[in-house]
């Protein structure tokens, strides 16, 4: 049965690539696209251009390397059109398991040794959990209880890059790309998703985004609902004047805290203690007419004080358990690797090599990410067709053997 499923998967993968081939815009791009996507699903130590060339064309590695390098770094094909085709093919499979519940804003960092790759600067890197030399990309994912899929993805271009014409020109940053903060990029992605008519979900973000009052206001202006993490020091008015969220929570009576189980974990049910109350946000960036919304607070058993805080525009009459389920099921955890529950970035990085691109340009960075999202989307579509024990490597892809003893050259992160 496993072999049959593997063959079925290989056939579905071929059909999936046929769908992507139809939007590549030129027949010469189809072969490299097929090989690049295939290489991302094969068990290479790294998923950069040279190792992919070696596993997909071991008899002509040099020529294949040049073809794939041109395809990903220089190819004039549209990331937006390819990702739209990915959504068209994969989202129906995700939605077959339930309606979209969440829109997840997140970012991921890619550590870099040097300063020449586009967008590299010294900034917070989620993968390392500290300030470091890295690139950061902002993404929007759509999720239900079955899976999540990135639908928008853009590199953050720091101000020192955005305002340096020489660096921009050398990296190929498009003229229309100017400096935008990460929250502004996130709001642009949400606005795009609304304009594109994507079925809506509750917007979830970690505190680095959720604490931005202008971003929350922009989300409300889009008529989207949110449940976003905020810092403990966030100022709110709970009826007795302006106060920090942590101080307001600390003064709540014991009866305000309820134990809620939101889902079954791998080993045991996931549960914690929560309290909530209606507040109005105050502080930097807030206006006088801030709406009343929920402040949700978590105080895990064994902790000496509350630990996490969220502002939410979920309905006033929503049950606490339902609110916790929505907020916690796809929780975006600040300062933690592989940010949200569906593990998009974990699988994108570990399984299909999102962070392995070794080029330095804007186009290559985004083309590689688009191919990684496309490969990852196929894995999502296969979740209902192959058992977890079979795993990704059971897909029977027919490729020639890699030359004995071959090793990729650039295993370290590119400068």
pLDDT tens digits along 160-179: 999 999 999 999 999 999 99
Domain around 270: 207-331
In a domain, 18, yes or no: no
- Name the band, by pLDDT with cuts 50, 70 and 90, for residue 329: confident
* Domain count across the chain: 1
Assess whether pLDDT exceeds 70 at residue 129.
Answer: yes
Please state, as a whole number, how many other Cβ atoms lie within 10 Å of the Cβ of residue 96: 11
Decide if 196 is inside a domain: no
CA distances 297 to 101, 140, 238, 282, 408, Å, are: 21, 25, 13, 17, 49
- Judge whether 394 lies within some domain: no
The pLDDT-based confidence of 228 (bands split at 50, 70, 90) is very high
Residue 247 lies inside a defined structural domain of this protein: yes
Question: Do residues 6 and 396 lie in contact, with contact meaning Cβ atoms separated by under 8 Å?
Answer: yes
pLDDT at 353 over 80: yes
The token pair at 211 is: 């604490």
Cα 124 to Cα 95, 277, 298, 389, 395, distances in angstroms: 34, 32, 25, 36, 37
Q: Please check whether residue 404 lies inside any domain of the structure.
A: no
Using the structure block, give the residue that is written with the tokens 């931005």. Answer: 212
- For residue 361, pLDDT beyond 70: yes
Please indicate, yes or no, if residue 320 is contained in any of the structural domains: yes
pLDDT tens, position by position, 268-283: 888 999 999 999 999 9
Distance CA(37)–CA(394), nearest Å, equals 16
Higher pLDDT, 395 or 265: 265
Mean pLDDT confidence for 323-329 = 92
Residue 305 lies in a domain: yes
> Is 0.95 topped by the overall pTM?
no
- The first and second tokens of residue 34, run together, are 């097929």
Return the structure tokens found at 166. Answer: 């020489």
267 within a domain of the structure (yes/no) = yes
> What is the arithmetic mean of pLDDT over 79-88?
97
Instruction: Find out whether 9 and 396 touch, Cβ atoms under 8 Å.
Output: yes
């Amino acid at each position: 049965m496993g072999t049959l499923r593997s063959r079925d998967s290989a056939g579905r993968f071929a059909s999936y690539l046929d769908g992507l081939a139809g939007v590549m815009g030129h027949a010469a791009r189809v072969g490299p696209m097929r090989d690049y996507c295939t290489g991302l699903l094969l068990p290479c130590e790294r998923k950069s251009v040279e190792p992919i060339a070696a596993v997909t064309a071991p008899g002509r590695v040099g020529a294949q390397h040049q073809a794939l390098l041109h395809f990903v770094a220089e190819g004039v094909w549209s990331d937006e059109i390819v990702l739209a085709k990915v959504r068209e093919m994969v989202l129906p499979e995700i939605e077959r398991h339930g309606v979209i519940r969440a829109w997840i804003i997140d970012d991921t960092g890619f550590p870099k040794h040097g300063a020449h790759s586009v967008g590299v600067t010294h900034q917070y890197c989620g993968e390392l959990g500290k300030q470091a030399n890295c690139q950061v990309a902002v993404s929007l994912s759509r999720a239900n209880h079955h899976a999540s899929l990135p639908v928008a993805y853009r590199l953050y271009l720091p101000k020192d890059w955005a305002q340096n014409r020489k660096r921009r020109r050398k990296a190929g940053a498009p003229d229309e790309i100017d400096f935008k903060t990460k929250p502004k990029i996130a709001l642009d992605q949400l606005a795009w998703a609304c304009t594109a008519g994507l079925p809506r979900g509750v917007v979830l973000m970690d505190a680095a985004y959720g604490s931005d009052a202008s971003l929350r206001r922009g989300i409300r202006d889009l008529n989207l609902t949110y449940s976003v993490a905020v810092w403990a020091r966030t100022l709110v008015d709970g009826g007795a004047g302006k106060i920090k969220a942590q101080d307001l929570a600390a003064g709540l009576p014991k009866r305000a805290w309820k134990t809620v189980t939101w889902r079954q974990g791998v080993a045991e049910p996931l549960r914690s203690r929560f309290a909530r109350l209606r507040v109005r946000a105050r502080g930097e960036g807030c206006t006088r007419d801030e709406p009343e919304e929920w402040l949700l607070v978590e105080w895990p058993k064994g902790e000496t004080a509350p630990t996490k805080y969220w502002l939410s525009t979920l309905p006033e009459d929503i049950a606490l358990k339902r609110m916790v389920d929505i907020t916690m099921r796809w929780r975006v955890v600040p300062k933690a690797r592989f940010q949200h529950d569906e593990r998009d970035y974990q699988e994108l990085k570990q399984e299909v090599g999102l962070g392995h691109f070794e080029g330095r340009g804007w186009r290559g960075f985004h083309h590689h990410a688009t191919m990684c999202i496309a490969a990852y989307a196929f894995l999502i579509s296969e979740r209902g067709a192959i058992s977890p024990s079979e795993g990704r490597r059971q897909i029977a892809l027919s490729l020639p053997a890699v030359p004995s003893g071959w090793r990729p050259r650039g295993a370290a992160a590119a400068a």
